[in-house]
Amino acid sequence: MPNSAAKRPGSGRCLPSAEAHATRFARQREADRTATAQDYVELIADLIREEKEARAVAIARRMGVSQATVTATVARLQRDGLVETQPYRGLFLTPAGQAMAETARARHELLVRFLIAVGLDAETAEQDAEGLEHHVSDKALAVFGKFLEGR
């Protein structure tokens, strides 16, 4: 008789049902798919705020990628309705791109504050938040926020 929650050897943890497992992996794949878009729109918003413009060369330098990679990614962001370009000018966020950037920034800042509160140094917290911000659930973020409010 198959057990839908069989224990993993040596872990003490149970294997979730196939449906629950598939849902977890689907969520993870979606987070991976949107991570690049979130990173780009967040950086574009930061560059516009700090330097008054966002240009492909600055994005390439800050992300450590080629300008060709930036061009291809910006084209995808344009198709997705997140970024607008104008000849001989920088990049601009659409309202949808701006909303995504604000959400990504808020998630990042909350995670940095939480990681520092539980004892991580600021530099490592910043680095780790870059990956976590795309993968942590809204439910977990709410719990982290409540934890921080209680401090």
Residue 132 within any structural domain of the chain: yes
Indicate the residue type of 89: R
Q: CB pairs under 8 A, 24+ apart, for 52-55?
A: 53/89, 53/90, 54/90, 54/91, 54/92, 55/90, 55/91
**What is the total count of domains within the chain?**
1
Residue 56 within any structural domain of the chain: yes
What stretches in the chain show pLDDT beneath 50? 1-5
Residue 11 within any structural domain of the chain: no
User: What is the extent of the structural domain holding 130?
Assistant: 18-149
Structure pTM?
0.79
Residue 6 within any structural domain of the chain: no
Residue 10 within any structural domain of the chain: no
Report the CATH number at residue 56: 1.10.10.10
Give pLDDT, residue 8. 52
Quick one: how many helices (H) and strands (E) in the chain? 6, 2
Residue 83 within any structural domain of the chain: yes
CB 45 within 8 A of CB 93: yes
Residue 13 within any structural domain of the chain: no
pLDDT tens, position by position, 122-138: 999 999 999 899 889 99
